[in-house]
Copies of this chain bind each other. A is one copy, B any other.
Amino acid sequence: MIDRHDERVLLLLGLLSTQSQHGYQMNEFIEHNLGRVTLMKKATAYALLTRMEAAGLVGAEDAREGNRPTRRVYSITPEGTALMREMLVAVLQEPSQSLPPGDIAVMYIAALDTDAAIEALERRVAAMDEHVTELESTPLHPTVVGVDLAIERRLTLMRADLDWFRGVIDRLRGGEVVPRAVLAAAE
């Protein structure tokens, strides 16, 4: 029921590992502070919390202040803490065999004529450069310890990607990558 490789579970467990919180609170925090590390939507977080409660990873208690809507306050359980540790080790130790978006397009780049390819890649490089600059000037994260580390990693990867694409542009200019039919032979 709970996917032990779902990083969003890890995120929610991590948020609860320091403070008991209600769903709305976590969602606001994620939206305002962690937009850079997750794309999880609010409805998904609510659903996940419900499933995590059913799995015994978190406990829940209803609380009300005045006439406001009831808050469902979640607290991490010992099982949740244990799973968080397990998931951390599991995710950290196994390298993600992820497919970088854009790889299919890179594969077919020779299907474009050289000028069009160069133009497209120059736009990409410019946008990436801007993005790197923006990330570099981001102040250290005030609240969540570790976000800076994740951002640092992203910067590293982005810089490497950027350099690689610059190299491809150079090769396109030098005629090393020439437009041609995409398939040499299909068995």
Contacts and interface: CB of A to CB of B under 8 A. Distances in A.
Given A93-B121, A107-B37, A183 B18 contact: yes
Number of copies: 2
Interface string A149-173: 1101110111111011000100000
B7 A183 contact: no
A147 to B, nearest CB: 6
A117 B145 contact: no
A1 interface: no
A119 to B, nearest CB: 8
Contacts of A117: 92
A19 B183 contact: yes
A103 B153 contact: yes
A116 B161 CA distance: 30
A43 interface: no
Interface string A76-120: 000000001101110111111111111111111111100011011
A152 B171 CA distance: 13
B186 A94 contact: no
Interface in A1-59: 7-8, 10-11, 14-15, 17-19, 21, 25, 29, 32, 37-39
Interface of A: 7-8, 10-11, 14-15, 17-19, 21, 25, 29, 32, 37-39, 84-85, 87-89, 91-112, 116-117, 119-121, 123-124, 127-128, 131, 142-147, 149-150, 152-154, 156-161, 163-164, 168, 177, 180-187
Q: Which 3 residue pairs across A and B have the least CB separation, nearest first? A: A160-B160, A96-B101, A18-B183
Given A96-B102, A157-B164, 15 more contacts: A7-B101, A8-B104, A14-B104, A15-B183, A29-B187, A37-B104, A38-B104, A89-B112, A91-B102, A95-B161, A106-B150, A144-B182, A144-B183, A145-B183, A159-B160
